[in-house]
Structure 1
Amino acid sequence: MATTLHEAGSVTGTSAAGATGVPPITLRTRVSYGSGAIANGIKNAAFTTYLLFFYSQIIGVPAGIVSAAVALTLLVDAVADPLIGRWSDMTRSRWGRRHPFIYGAAFPTAFFFLLAWFPPQGMSDFQMGIWIFATASLTRVSISAFEINTSAMTPELTQDYRERTRLFSLRWWFGYAGTYLFTAICLTTFFAATPEYPRGQLNPAGYPGFAMAGGVTILAAILICGIGTHNRIPYLRQAPVRAEPLKLMGHLREMGSALRNRAFLSIFGFGVLKYSAIGLYSATTLFFLTYLYELGATQVAILTIDSFVAATIAAPLAPVMSAWLGKRTSSMLFAVVGVSIGLTPLFLAYNGWFFAPGDPWLVPTLFAIGALYGAMVAISLINTSSMLADVVEDSALKTGRHEAGIFFSAASFMQQCSTAIGIFLAGRLLVWSDFPAKPAPGTVSDEAIRSLVIHYIPCSIGLWTLGALILLFYPITKAKHEANVAALQAREAEARAVEMDNSALLGPAR
């Protein structure tokens, strides 16, 4: 029987999430759940790394317009993501409160993603900016409906402190596969070098195939995730039944009381800064690889795989590090140290101390550093995701409501809008560096490249360091989480006992 919450906040009935006799999660379900992250990984790779590059270097739209159009999508996210999360938390259906959104997101996400890469001919730069804004916004809203609800399932699938980190490790591994393996495959196929385009990422003919492959894979990943986790619906926490429907102000008050949680606010602050840094990195890395290191598509593809290697290293290590150092400490430590290592090649190249373009050691060295840096950052990302799942019980103990949808919708908004901020920052760095739009081969000056590097390094390390310091305010330890879970289970057991007593008293006489 699902949990029943009345207006006063008392809990009656039973919770499938906390009840005994729930079957263990099978490997098939785990893999299906994790593989859904491929969809968001592909969207992230395409929108953060290739969208700015495609429209500025291939179509010829000024980088400032492209980055501003993407950044403005955060206004849409600011409204849509909390509504999706709240709507999901309040939904009751035979498919529970998560799966209707998962299935409903599949086709719209794939369609709008495709649309973003096929702009109409003959539009002005301003009109092109509107097109980018519209298609990117629709794609983001659609993927949010999926991503918020799959992430919100995690605290409902398990209450175990370390098991949540394992689930998020699997999810991040598949997410990296979607981001980097997909990119590597596209670089060696759609963007393969030709005599006319030795750097295949500059070939306009490669982008239609890239877009179509991405759309089809996104559709498949979402459907596999929904179908593969469908068997868990009876064991997921259902939406509350209320004596009377809430009015708008009631919804806003409940959302506000949840989002004022100190643990959530510290994760949110860290997330805004770290995802801004990630968006900045993703939007500029192809510029560095193309113009600073002068790499072709095959070499870029090789370096793309280092992030997948990093995720493969991080997935089993993240639960170990969270158990050894704690989730908060490992998230802070690996973020700052990892990024510092990752910035080393740019710092050395700026000062003329790194391998020159064409040197046989250039790509292997970048690969090794990228794998190490990427693994450390991935450990940080996995553990902060797991920390957010632990906030659900911390909040429920105070409010009497399990609102995973609200928290993960806020996290989705934080991630998407901060990534958009990062892309906007990348556009500003390109403007400040006088980087040309749609340049002819060999016309990008060394001065513009060096200016981009020297603007990028302090901006990146500053965002990560400040974010890590904010995470110092996160208060939930393993012991506190286990105490929260025990208190909630005791509260629900008491509520079930009261309901049984009331049923006996009010039942028919025998």
Structure 2
Amino acid sequence: MSQIEATENQIMKAKIDVPMTQKGAYGAGTLTLNLLPGALGVFSFFLITAFGIDPFLAGLLGGLPRLFDALTDPIMGFITDNTKSRWGRRRPYIVVGAILSGVFFALLWQLDPEASQAYNFWYFLIFSMIFTIGNTMFATPFVALGYEMTSDYNERTRLMAFAQTMGQVAWMIVPWFWVMIADKDLFPTQAEGVRELSLYVAGACIVLGILPGLFCKGLDDSKLENRAEISFATLWTNLKAVFSGIRTVFKNGPFVKLCGATFLVFNGFQLVASFSFFIIVFHMFGGDYGATGSWPAWFATVSAMTTAFLVIPIISWMASKYGKRNAFIISTMISIVGYSLKWWSFDPSNPWLIFMPIPLMSFGIGGLFTLMMSMTADVCDMDELSNGMPRREGTFGAIYWLMVKLGQALALILGGLVIKLVGFDPGAASQSAETLIQLRLADIIIPASTAALAIIVMWKYDLSEDKARAIKAKLVELRGEL
């Protein structure tokens, strides 16, 4: 190899590889992306116990902002795809959105336990809507930025693996919020614990959330054509373009498969997410919360640590060696084995066995977002080749996460229905043996079944590495360097 060829290869590798500084910044954003909903989920429990909100109204406070989210995500995707600025299409929104998300998350939880239920309901609902706008302004362009930070098939997986590893730190921390808020040595009341902890979460999210907007780089804006004008004068035209873009996205077969598989794996997991807590408390410790102690928190934390430091690196290696589709199928099969082992792991005579299925179960969620985020980036290239510019990373990201959010809302509803159907009585000090057996079976059968269905959905996914590289070469031919 000549010196010139060696130099050209070094230059090409430098353009393909995402610098560690940018990977770290994008990972910090992924941590923020996980920490906000994780904390929101924990704190929402205390709307009932600490602030006196009726359970039905608390359910509305959880559901209505998600419906609002369903409107704002695609609109924000269209806006960020078509933005023209000296700082790029994504970065200004990420910085402003991170600040707004943090500020309004903190304000959201400054409820007054002495105020009337009506006041707290409307206060929380209004600030939830405002927080949702700020979070959408951060999350949608942030996800889209990750799709375009590199055009290389395998580097996309390495970037997402690194980011998801950092994102798992949120799930190592969040379970301990339950323990901290209930600790009277830390906070005199639950309400005070929620209000104070929300300030720390908000501060961390602002600091971490702005980093990708400051340090990460996406595509060269100057080479992108056919972008719509974003202004009040073009509002109606742009709204029609939003729905047109959504229709185009759903005509993309590989992307629809990614959404379907994600819906099945993630929401099968989410549907039974709370079941482990009830099984540990009532099956292993007979309903004695004092004896249960911090076992549920350790179960969640060890799951996140295993996902971050063991599973994600293995999945990244499998994707490079066997391809992303095959890595997904293999990791999902392994998770089904892990779910099955839960029947023997919740043993009242040996609590340590609860950690036995975790390394295998974690392949499900660990593989899901690492691989799906990487494959969605490949789909964006395919879409440009089929439909031309503007590139629609924002729209694809918005629709993908919209499916996740809507499915998550459905999982919360169905999870409560399953608990009711098995005869679980949340007010009782103990549960019947029949109820606990049915709950344990549901905890295994539901996520294992949805994971199996996801494998079927992805079986004929055909955007392989060879095809992705051919698409990239064609795009380079059509419009120059990616």
- TM-score, scaled to structure 1: 0.78
Structure 1 residue 36 and structure 2 residue 29: aligned? yes
Deviations 1:15-71 (CA, angstroms, capped at 9, x unpaired): xxx9998595322221111111111211232234x2554345655656565445423
Q: Partner residue of 1:304?
A: 300
Alignment partners' CA distance in 1, 2:148 and 2:470: 17
Structure 1 residue 390 and structure 2 residue 369: aligned? no
Q: Which amino acid aligns with 2:405?
A: Q
Q: Partner residue of 2:418?
A: 429
* 1:87, distance to aligned residue in structure 2 (A): 0.3
Alignment partners' CA distance in 2, 1:155 and 1:140: 22
Alignment partners' CA distance in 1, 2:311 and 2:145: 22
Structure 1 residue 259 and structure 2 residue 255: aligned? no
SS of residue matched to 2:225: coil
Query: Among residues 69, 72, 76, which one is paired with 1:77 in the alignment?
Result: 69
Contact 1:328 1:471 in 2 (8 A): yes
* 1:388, distance to aligned residue in structure 2 (A): 0.8
Deviations 1:328-366 (CA, angstroms, capped at 9, x unpaired): 122133224314413532x347xxxx421xx4x31x322
Structure 1 residue 156 and structure 2 residue 153: aligned? no
* 1:280, distance to aligned residue in structure 2 (A): 2.0
Alignment partners' CA distance in 1, 2:327 and 2:362: 14
Structure 1 residue 271 and structure 2 residue 262: aligned? yes
Alignment partners' CA distance in 2, 1:255 and 1:323: 31
* 1:210, distance to aligned residue in structure 2 (A): 3.3
Query: Among residues 330, 355, 359, which one is paired with 1:371 in the alignment?
Result: 359
Cα gap change, 1:243/1:168 in structure 2, threshold over 3 Å: closer, same or farther?
A: closer
* 1:156, distance to aligned residue in structure 2 (A): 1.8
Contact 1:279 1:420 in 2 (8 A): no
Q: Which amino acid aligns with 2:26?
A: Y
Cα gap change, 1:456/1:47 in structure 2, threshold over 3 Å: closer, same or farther?
A: farther
* 1:422, distance to aligned residue in structure 2 (A): 1.6
SS of residue matched to 1:393: helix
SS of residue matched to 1:282: coil
Contact 2:52 2:113 in 1 (8 A): no
SS of residue matched to 1:104: helix
Structure 1 residue 482 and structure 2 residue 474: aligned? no
SS of residue matched to 2:174: helix
Q: Which amino acid aligns with 2:467?
A: K
Q: Partner residue of 2:94?
A: 102
* 1:79, distance to aligned residue in structure 2 (A): 0.9
Q: Which amino acid aligns with 1:406?
A: T
Cα gap change, 1:282/1:208 in structure 2, threshold over 3 Å: closer, same or farther?
A: farther
* 1:408, distance to aligned residue in structure 2 (A): 0.5
Q: Which amino acid aligns with 1:147?
A: A
Greater shift, 167-176 or 335-344, is seen at 335-344
Correspondence 1:309-324 to 2 at 5 A = 309-324=306-321
Q: Which amino acid aligns with 2:137?
A: A
Cα gap change, 1:372/1:396 in structure 2, threshold over 3 Å: closer, same or farther?
A: same
Q: Which amino acid aligns with 2:268?
A: A
Alignment partners' CA distance in 2, 1:302 and 1:125: 34
Alignment partners' CA distance in 2, 1:135 and 1:339: 40
Correspondence 1:60-139 to 2 at 5 A = 66-67=58-59, 69-121=61-113, 134-139=126-131
Alignment partners' CA distance in 1, 2:110 and 2:333: 39
Deviations 1:443-479 (CA, angstroms, capped at 9, x unpaired): 6666655554444443333333223322234220000
* 1:486, distance to aligned residue in structure 2 (A): 0.4
Q: Which amino acid aligns with 1:155?
A: Y
Bigger relative contact order (CA 8 A; separation at least 6): 1
The runs of 5 or more residues in structure 1 that have no matched partner are 1-17, 497-510
Alignment partners' CA distance in 2, 1:485 and 1:22: 14
SS of residue matched to 1:92: coil
CA RMSD of aligned residues (A): 3.6
* 1:75, distance to aligned residue in structure 2 (A): 1.9
Cα gap change, 1:333/1:269 in structure 2, threshold over 3 Å: closer, same or farther?
A: same
Correspondence 1:164-243 to 2 at 5 A = 164-180=156-172, 182-183=173-174, 186=177, 189-192=180-183, 206-229=193-216, 232=217, 235=220, 240=225
Alignment partners' CA distance in 1, 2:18 and 2:375: 21
Cα gap change, 1:76/1:275 in structure 2, threshold over 3 Å: closer, same or farther?
A: farther
Q: Which amino acid aligns with 1:90?
A: N
Alignment partners' CA distance in 2, 1:243 and 1:449: 56
Q: Which amino acid aligns with 1:492?
A: R
* 1:423, distance to aligned residue in structure 2 (A): 1.7
SS of residue matched to 2:294: helix
Q: Partner residue of 1:329?
A: 326
* 1:274, distance to aligned residue in structure 2 (A): 2.5
Alignment partners' CA distance in 2, 1:165 and 1:260: 24
Contact 1:162 1:323 in 2 (8 A): yes
* 1:492, distance to aligned residue in structure 2 (A): 1.0
Percentage of pairs with the same residue: 19
Contact 1:70 1:424 in 2 (8 A): no
SS of residue matched to 1:313: helix
Alignment partners' CA distance in 1, 2:225 and 2:96: 22
* 1:385, distance to aligned residue in structure 2 (A): 1.5
- TM-score, scaled to structure 2: 0.82
Alignment partners' CA distance in 1, 2:76 and 2:325: 28
Alignment partners' CA distance in 2, 1:166 and 1:133: 39
Q: Partner residue of 1:407?
A: 396
Q: Partner residue of 2:288?
A: none
Deviations 1:309-331 (CA, angstroms, capped at 9, x unpaired): 22111232222111233211221
Q: Partner residue of 1:460?
A: 447
SS of residue matched to 1:97: coil
Alignment partners' CA distance in 2, 1:445 and 1:64: 26
* 1:490, distance to aligned residue in structure 2 (A): 0.5
Q: Partner residue of 2:8?
A: none
Cα gap change, 1:53/1:189 in structure 2, threshold over 3 Å: closer, same or farther?
A: closer
Q: Which amino acid aligns with 1:158?
A: T
Cα gap change, 1:371/1:277 in structure 2, threshold over 3 Å: closer, same or farther?
A: same
SS of residue matched to 2:357: helix
Deviations 1:254-281 (CA, angstroms, capped at 9, x unpaired): 4422331111111111222223223323
Cα gap change, 1:60/1:365 in structure 2, threshold over 3 Å: closer, same or farther?
A: farther
Cα gap change, 1:72/1:275 in structure 2, threshold over 3 Å: closer, same or farther?
A: farther
SS of residue matched to 2:459: helix
Cα gap change, 1:271/1:424 in structure 2, threshold over 3 Å: closer, same or farther?
A: same
The runs of 5 or more residues in structure 2 that have no matched partner are 1-10, 286-290
Matched residue count: 458
